[in-house]
Amino acid sequence: MKSLPMRLAGLAATGFTWLLVLAVTFPLLWMLGTAFKRPTELFAKPPTFFPHAPTLQNFVDVLEQTKFTIYATNSLIVATVTTLFVLVVATLGAHAMVSFKLMGRHVVARALLLCYMLPTTAVLIPIYLMIAGLGLANSLSGLIVAYTSLTLPFALWLMRAFFAGIPPEIEAAALIDGASRLRAFVDVVLPQALPGIVTTGVFSFLICWNEYLYSLVMINDDRTRTLPTGIMGTLVNGYAIEWGMVMAAATMMSVPLLLVFLFLQRYVVQGFGAGAVKG
Amino acid sequence: MLPSTLRDQALGYALLAPSLLLLGGLLGWPLIQAVLLSFYDMHPLTRRVIYVGLENYTDIFEDDMFWRAFANNFVWLAGSLFLQIGGGVVVALLLNRTFIGRGIARSLILFPYLMPVLVAALVWRWMLDDIHGIVNYAWIGMGLKRIDWLSTMPNAMVTVIVVGSWRVFPFVVIAVLARLQSIPQQLYEAAEVDGASRWSQFWDVTMPQIANVLSVIVLLRAIWDFREFDLIFLMTGGGPVIGTTTLPLLVYKEAFELFKMGKALAIAVVMMLCMLVLIAAYLRSVRNAPASEEIR
Amino acid sequence: MTEIALKSVQKKFGADVYAVENLDLIIAKGEFLTLLGPSGCGKTTTLRMIAGLETLTSGEIHFNDKRIDQLAPGQRNVAMVFQNYALYPHLNVRGNLEYPLKKRGVPRDQRQTMVAATAKMLQIEELLDRRPRQLSGGQQQRVALGRAMIRDPAVFLFDEPLSNLDAQLRATMRAELVRLHLRLGKTMVYVTHDQLEAMTMSTRIAVMYKGRLQQIDTPAAIYSRPANRFVAGFVGTPTMNFVEGVFSDGASGLEFRSTLLPTIPVPGLSGAKAGMAADVGFRSEHVVLGQGAAQAEVSVIEALGHETLVLLTAGADEIAVRTRPDIALRVGEKVRFDAAIDQLHFFAKTDGNRIGG
């Protein structure tokens, strides 16, 4: 049995831990609270944590007075198309890198790591010039090209680690059982890689959904803006910021995503720090 | 690793080809272009280029703005690394204990990292609003003077560092926690049998076990935070004046506000060289820390 | 039935690392051949080359005069059981057993009867709907065997299939594999580093070391007439005793002299000549205690119940002796011992090869 002082110390540590956790999540709660408050309550002294008279007015205003739905649709299209495209390419590429003895595979791995870590700002300008040169500025396809350059190195790097964790004997067994290389890949490697593919998909979707810089630089047309630039451009510019509406928009942009993450938490945690895996 | 007959090799390259082509076209070639174009001047409208040699580089090296941004970049990097690593390790240690609601606490702690940058920046800007913000309300409530968190220096830099660290420290928590969980319980039992106090157990058992992983995390975070653009830009836009303008923000300003592509690229190239040093250090530390494979 | 012929097979990794060097090997029809050797000796690489999981750097492999080393693994009609069983984790046992049949286009109803028959034979019927991770090691092993058997392959390949099992289960599975071989009568190639498995199961054993074939023969012959010093030392527990010495001319012809043992007359030992350095080897069961001219000190006594192992030391030499369990000895005691003269093996110092017949 532990002594009384030890137990008190433990209790104190637990209390402190929970205090920290709540402090860390406070901004999220504050966002939700604000989003449901009426303008008068927003500036109440003392501030209220829970809205006294919860209202959906802020959400209605965002949806009616801004092009939020257009931005959200654009974000969804760009993020989904990029993610699916990158997943297909990276799944094939990672499999090739892991289970084929290709000449120069070590060089490829090194180059990949470099791509993964180099600053986006370095290639921002050439990619911008390239996309503009192709006449894709101001278009969602242009953004998809840019986001592919952003997510592919990451996806390949992460996926390569996942594929390397699959025992090679399983593929060998399928080959002996009569499958071709491609068939074995589809039949037995792919099902094993599925958790890794989901994780990679979640993170590349997140990258595209959040991306701000490329969208800022390349999109100059309200019909093709994505959520981050759209919200910034319409709600946050000017002196009198409608914080209720801003928080409502922020809620709509983040909460569905957070719920999905909560649901896929296992995969999300797997993806953390994937870059730290040995090259 | 399976057999490599010629047919298999062909198939392998075919599978790898899309990745290689895209990496080459969307990263390799732009990278080369970035370096090449940093020796040119580009007309903002016609995009005609004129070779100017090292002029862009001499320009930036003579420019106080560049050196301010350079210094800002390191202040930002050092500050946020210190905060997020320190905070991350402490929280990881706390979350490694058994306590009521540990599972929920571990999920909640992830939120800042998963929140879109824009949302994080906006929430904080609202909370830090100098007149109606909750932070100043609490601050004044404690009997302190109202503070302008984002539009004076050095407050803006400190605030950005705190918010930036808040956003990414869950990464450190998860990585350290994974390592902590892999420390065999016998080590602590052995230390206890040897009469070590809780404090010395921490320094003699826990720290050596997480030291390797920590060095990898520090470098990895350094590489990523060095190039941070979104959060700083969305919080302060680089201001007040150029108080929080780091190199990535300067690249953006030169290229897309002042339309000096050549100069912007020269800055980007210098930035890249700094990052290469960090990347080399990272590779070295990963090689020295086999256990870092565990932080996945 | 299938005969496997390996002709001058070589496998290089990198520029000059030979995993397998110039291997000629004929595996007879219906034979249970074991590739035995320490890790890194090239035995697994050899097996993988037969399976088609590794390409040959040079040489040929034939199944019944048909060259197969260019064929894909699936076209060779071989089955393989892996050390970690390599069951498909996302398929249940039934799915695992069915997979090779599906790849060969066996119709559905026929597949079901074959799965049922195989499951019955291996007594895994009640496991058919489980996933591999819900099975014990022994059960996984049976499923892996079933997946190999079900399509009636020409050749079975085993890559250390028992090494992940506990000792008791291993003994059971050894017996079961022997029965399986008898019943199916197929050519089987078995890779192991465990000499007990090799001795108990094989028709013949091929001992490999450093990528080269050292000896191929029946278990009994490998044990009683090892071809070189490596085989002599690798096969048998405890390890064969070795004593260094030199051949010289004596009164009654050639003799072998060593510091530890009395002079051994070896007239007519072919290949030996005066002045040649050699090791004499003899097994622990061929040493008799309490007689003879050699003397040593008892350093360790291990009573195993049915017999006792005694370790003697004399200078730098160590001699292991198997004796009856009732022998009365104390550690530190000096004892005389003698090695049975008709059970000696001589190995040349130069190349380690056996001297004489």
Q: Mind listing the pLDDT tens digit for each residue in B27-80?
A: 888 888 888 888 888 877 777 878 887 888 888 888 888 899 999 999 999 999
Nearest to A211 by CA among A263, A145, A160, A134: A145
Alpha-carbon distance of C320 to C322, in angstroms, equals: 7
Q: Which residues contact C39 (CB under 8 A, 6 or more apart)?
A: C193
Alpha-carbon distance of A186 to B130, in angstroms, equals: 58
Q: Looking at residue B201, what is its pLDDT? A: 80
Q: What is the pTM of this model?
A: 0.85
Q: Looking at residue C112, what is its pLDDT? A: 93
Structure tokens at B207: 């720290």
The mean pLDDT value for C187-215 works out to 94
Residue C59: pLDDT band (50, 70, 90) is very high
pLDDT tens by residue, C302-312: 988 889 999 99
Q: Residue C42 in 3-state DSSP?
A: coil
Chains touching chain C, criterion 3+ CB pairs below 8 Å: A, B
Residue A82: pLDDT band (50, 70, 90) is very high
pLDDT tens by residue, B190-225: 887 887 777 788 888 888 888 878 888 888 888 888
A210-219, B135-144, C16-25, C165-174: which has the minimum mean pLDDT?
A: B135-144
Alpha-carbon distance of B170 to B110, in angstroms, equals: 5
Contact A177 C147 (CB under 8 A): yes
Is residue A272 over pLDDT 80? no
Residue of C52, C72, C86 with shortest CB distance to A173: C86
A213-217, A247-251, B236-240: which has the minimum mean pLDDT?
A: B236-240
Alpha-carbon distance of B240 to B227, in angstroms, equals: 20
Q: Residue B206 in 3-state DSSP?
A: helix
B211–A contact, CB cutoff 8 A: no
Q: Give yes or no for a contact between C155 and C29, defined as CB atoms under 8 angstroms apart.
A: no
pLDDT tens by residue, C133-160: 999 888 999 999 999 999 889 999 999 9
Give per-residue burial for C284-312: e unless 16+ CB within 10 Å, then b: bebbebeeeebebebeeeeeeeeebbbbb
C75–B contact, CB cutoff 8 A: no
Structure tokens at A187: 């039949």
Alpha-carbon distance of B254 to B234, in angstroms, equals: 17
Q: Looking at residue B78, what is its pLDDT? A: 93
Is residue B290 over pLDDT 60? no
Residue of C83, C90, C104 with shortest CB distance to A192: C90
Taking residue C37's Cβ as centre, other Cβ atoms within 10 Å add up to 29
pLDDT tens by residue, B109-146: 888 888 888 999 988 988 888 777 778 777 777 877 77
Q: Which residue has the tokens 């739905």?
A: A69
Alpha-carbon distance of C230 to B217, in angstroms, equals: 49
Contact B118 A250 (CB under 8 A): yes
Alpha-carbon distance of B294 to A269, in angstroms, equals: 13
Which pairing describes strands C32-36 and C58-63: parallel, antiparallel, or unpaired?
Answer: unpaired
Is residue A216 over pLDDT 80? yes
Q: Residue A240 in 3-state DSSP?
A: coil
* Half-sphere exposure for A274 (CA within 13 Å, toward CB): 27
Q: Give yes or no for a contact between B260 and B212, defined as CB atoms under 8 angstroms apart.
A: no
B-interface mutation test, from A22, A24, A205, A243, most B Cβ less than 10 A away: A24
Q: Which residue has the tokens 């071709």?
A: A180
Contact A247 B101 (CB under 8 A): no
Q: Which residue has the tokens 């990898």?
A: B216
Nearest to A201 by CA among A64, A59, A89: A89
Is residue A42 over pLDDT 90? no
Peptide bond into C238 cis (omega under 30): yes
Residue B266 Cα to chain centre, angstroms:
22
Q: Looking at residue B187, what is its pLDDT? A: 81
Nearest to A148 by CA among A193, A195, A96, A88: A88
C18–A contact, CB cutoff 8 A: no
A9–B contact, CB cutoff 8 A: no
- DSSP class of C186: -
DSSP symbols for C96-116: HHHHHHHHTT--HHHHHHHHH
Residue of B nearest to C11 (CA): B3
- pLDDT averaged over chain B? 84
Is residue C242 over pLDDT 90? yes
Q: Looking at residue B293, what is its pLDDT? A: 41
Q: Looking at residue A1, what is its pLDDT? A: 53
Q: Would you tell me which residues 32-91 of chain C have a C-beta closer than 8 angstroms to some C-beta of chain A? A: 51-53, 72-74, 78-80, 82-84, 86-90
Nearest Cα of chain A lies from the Cα of B226 at a distance, in angstroms, of 8
The mean pLDDT value for C251-260 works out to 86
Residue B288: pLDDT band (50, 70, 90) is low
Query: How large is the angle between the packed helices A68-99 and A190-210, nearest 10 degrees?
Result: 140
Classify the C-alpha dihedral A220-A225-A229-A233 as positive or negative: positive
Residue B164: pLDDT band (50, 70, 90) is very high
Nearest Cα of chain B lies from the Cα of A27 at a distance, in angstroms, of 6
Nearest Cα of chain C lies from the Cα of B155 at a distance, in angstroms, of 56
* Half-sphere exposure for B104 (CA within 13 Å, toward CB): 8
Q: Looking at residue B291, what is its pLDDT? A: 44
Q: Which chain A residues contact residue C83 at CB under 8 A?
A: 169
B99–A contact, CB cutoff 8 A: yes
Q: Which chain A residues contact residue C133 at CB under 8 A?
A: none
Residue A152: pLDDT band (50, 70, 90) is very high
Which pairing describes strands C241-250 and C253-257: parallel, antiparallel, or unpaired?
Answer: antiparallel
Nearest Cα of chain C lies from the Cα of B3 at a distance, in angstroms, of 5
Q: Residue B63 in 3-state DSSP?
A: coil
B2–C contact, CB cutoff 8 A: yes
Contact C99 A192 (CB under 8 A): no
Count interface pairs A-B at CB distance under 8 A. 292
Q: Which chain A residues contact residue B114 at CB under 8 A?
A: 206, 257-258, 261, 268
Alpha-carbon distance of A43 to A35, in angstroms, equals: 13
Q: Residue B275 in 3-state DSSP?
A: helix
C114–A contact, CB cutoff 8 A: no
What are phi and psi for residue B48, nearest 5 degrees?
-70, 140
Residue of B27, B47, B282 with shortest CB distance to A149: B27
Q: Which chain A residues contact residue C87 at CB under 8 A?
A: 170, 173
Structure tokens at C29: 């029809």
Taking residue B103's Cβ as centre, other Cβ atoms within 10 Å add up to 8
Q: Which residues contact A129 (CB under 8 A, 6 or more apart)?
A: B33, B47, B261
* Alpha-helix runs per DSSP H in chain C: 43-51, 93-103, 108-122, 137-149, 167-184, 195-201, 219-224, 229-234
C-interface mutation test, from B1, B4, B5, B7, most C Cβ less than 10 A away: B5
Give per-residue burial for A152-187: e unless 16+ CB within 10 Å, then b: bbbbbbbbbbbbbebebbbbbbbbbbbbbbeebbeb
Name the CA radius of gyration of chain B, rounded: 24
A117–B contact, CB cutoff 8 A: yes
A16-20, B13-17, C103-107, C251-255: which has the minimum mean pLDDT?
A: C251-255
For residue C255, what is the enclosing H or E element?
strand C253-257
The mean pLDDT value for A214-236 works out to 87
The mean pLDDT value for C107-113 works out to 93
Which pairing describes strands C241-250 and C334-339: parallel, antiparallel, or unpaired?
Answer: unpaired
Residue C17 Cα to chain centre, angstroms:
23
Show the CA angle centred on residue C58, arms to residues C56 and C63, nearest 5°: 65
For residue B94, what is the enclosing H or E element?
helix B64-96
User: C81: which strand partners?
Assistant: C158
Contact A174 C99 (CB under 8 A): yes
Taking residue A84's Cβ as centre, other Cβ atoms within 10 Å add up to 13
DSSP symbols for A90-146: HHHHHHHHHHS--TTHHHHHHHHHHHHHS-HHHHHHHHHHHHHHTT-TTSHHHHHHH
Is residue B231 over pLDDT 80? yes
Q: Looking at residue B198, what is its pLDDT? A: 77
Q: Which chain B residues contact residue C52 at CB under 8 A?
A: 3
B30–A contact, CB cutoff 8 A: yes
Alpha-carbon distance of C246 to C257, in angstroms, equals: 5
Of residues C189 and A129, the one with the higher pLDDT is C189
Q: Residue B104 in 3-state DSSP?
A: helix
Q: Which residue has the tokens 């996933």?
A: C131
Q: Give yes or no for a contact between B155 and A253, defined as CB atoms under 8 angstroms apart.
A: no
In chain C, the percentage of residues whose pLDDT exceeds 90 is: 61
Q: Which chain C residues contact residue A188 at CB under 8 A?
A: 88, 90
Name the CA radius of gyration of chain A, rounded: 24
Q: Would you tell me which residues 34-53 of chain C have a C-beta closer than 8 angstroms to some C-beta of chain B? A: 52-53
- DSSP class of C22: E
Contact C100 A178 (CB under 8 A): yes
Q: Which chain B residues contact residue C54 at CB under 8 A?
A: 3
Q: Looking at residue C107, what is its pLDDT? A: 93
Q: Looking at residue B162, what is its pLDDT? A: 92
The mean pLDDT value for C70-94 works out to 91
The mean pLDDT value for B248-266 works out to 89
Chains touching chain A, criterion 3+ CB pairs below 8 Å: B, C
Alpha-carbon distance of A268 to A263, in angstroms, equals: 9
Strands lying side by side in the sheet with C78-81 = C78-81, C155-159, C187-192, C32-36, C204-209, C212-217
Q: Which residues contact C47 (CB under 8 A, 6 or more apart)?
A: C35, C80, C157, C158, C159, C189, C191
Which pairing describes strands C187-192 and C32-36: parallel, antiparallel, or unpaired?
Answer: parallel
Q: Give yes or no for a contact between B261 and A125, defined as CB atoms under 8 angstroms apart.
A: yes
Structure tokens at C8: 């001058």
Question: What is the ipTM metric for this complex?
Answer: 0.86
Is residue A277 over pLDDT 50? no
